[in-house]
Structure formats: C-alpha cells, structure tokens
Amino acid sequence: MSELRIALVVEGDTDTVIIESALRALIPTTFTLSQLHPEKTRPKLGTGWGGVLRWSLDFAERGYPSLETDPTLPGFDLFIIHVDADVAEDSYQNVSPKFVEEANNRRWPQLPCSFPCPPPDGSADAMRSRLLAWAGLTAPGPKTILCVPSKASEAWLVAAVFGQGHAIASNLECNLDLETRLRVLPKAERVKKNTLEYRKHSRRITFAWTSVREQCSQAERFSLDVLTKLP
C-alpha cells in the first residue's frame, strides 16, 4: 500500500492530535494528514463546531455532490469530518444569529437535538445527520468518514491515558465535563487543553487504541469506518 493522503476537517488542533493518533493505530502504512480546517489562511471561518459549520457551508455552496468530486480537493484517499456529539446540546444562535436564518432557509435539522445518554448513539447519530445537512450531502461519499466522539474527543484521550479504573473514566461517553475535569486533576495527572500537552499523550493513544475502542462505542464506529474505507 502506497502512502495515503488524508484530509481532515476538525473543530480544533487538539482534535487533530487525537484523530491522528487513532489513525496511526489503524492504518498499516505511512500517511500524510492535511488539515483543511482550521486553516491559518482562512481565520474568518473560526474554530470549534461553528468553524466546521462554516467550512461545510462553503463546500455546499460549491454545489458538488460529494467531497470526492470537488476539484478543489483533489488526490485525497480519505476525508474525515469531525464534530463532537456535545454540539447536540448547543444552538445555531450561539455561532451567529445569521445561522439561525441560514438553518431555516436551508432546512437544516434543528439544534439543540440531544438524546438521553447512555446510550451515546442518539446524539452522535443526530450530529452525523447535521454534518451531512450542513455540507449539502445526502450521505457520506465512498472516501468520506464522519467522526463524532461522544461527548467529545477527550473521551478517547481519557480512555487511552487513564483506562477503566480511574474515576474520570466513569460514564465516559456521556460526560459533558471531561475537559474541565482533566484540567483540575492532581498536578501529576493534569492535562491542559493545548496541542503541546495533547501531543505528549499521542503515542499512548496509538498504543492503547484497542482499549479505547472497547471503552468508547464511537471510537469503535470510527475505527470500522476507517478500516472499511481504506483503499
């Protein structure tokens, strides 16, 4: 298998670290990762899920039926679009009043759209449908993967670094407060939300990915999607 080219649209750079670490566990060859969003030359799109929304809307306005057929995105073997399932608790108003009107005009599925958790699938699936709607797609293309950790990608970090025996890993995929809890752990265990700090745990995420899949149903779904769509 030759080197793969993977395009990534994420909420933020720390999500890239976690997803890249997972991919290294799943893909048995070298690959190059191109972060299409956030991208420094397009700061107006912003970060967070609002940035993913704006990037998806830009794609939708180009009018192509899939990411794979967009000539401005050539040569990629996989496309990964990420948003956390906790966005199901949020609203378009919190991105911008403009997007309330946009959602009505484009008939996007409503936000908030959260489901009781457990199980984590309800909100995660709801956000997959919204990712598709924002991009103007009816279904993911043959090389496109929707990555929706529940409730956030930090669940995958916690599963890898702390494992099932740690108190922070309790009810892992339904915890809306993991980022804060990581920040206030005792100093020796504390994980602050920045790229440098997350990269310290990158190898651990890769090596422990089998355990992450066992603890997090959405990590398992992401893994199966990657393995199914590898060329």
Q: In this predicted model, what pLDDT tens digit does every residue of 42-58 receive, in sequence order?
A: 888 999 999 999 999 99
Residue 175: pLDDT band by 50, 70, 90 thresholds? very high
Q: Is 8 helix (H, G, I), strand (E, B) or coil?
A: strand
Tens of pLDDT, residues 96-121: 999 999 999 999 999 999 999 999 99
Residue 163: pLDDT band by 50, 70, 90 thresholds? confident
Structure tokens at 67: 């990411």
Residue 164: pLDDT band by 50, 70, 90 thresholds? confident
Write down the pTM of the prediction. Answer: 0.96
DSSP line for 30-97: -EEEEEEES-TT-GGG-SHHHHHHHHHHHHHHHT-SSGGG-TTSTT-SEEEEE--GGGGG--GGGT-H
1, pLDDT greater than 70: no
Mean pLDDT of 133-157: 98
3-state helix, strand, coil in the chain (%, to 5): 50, 10, 40
Q: Give the domain ranges of the chain.
A: 4-150+217-229
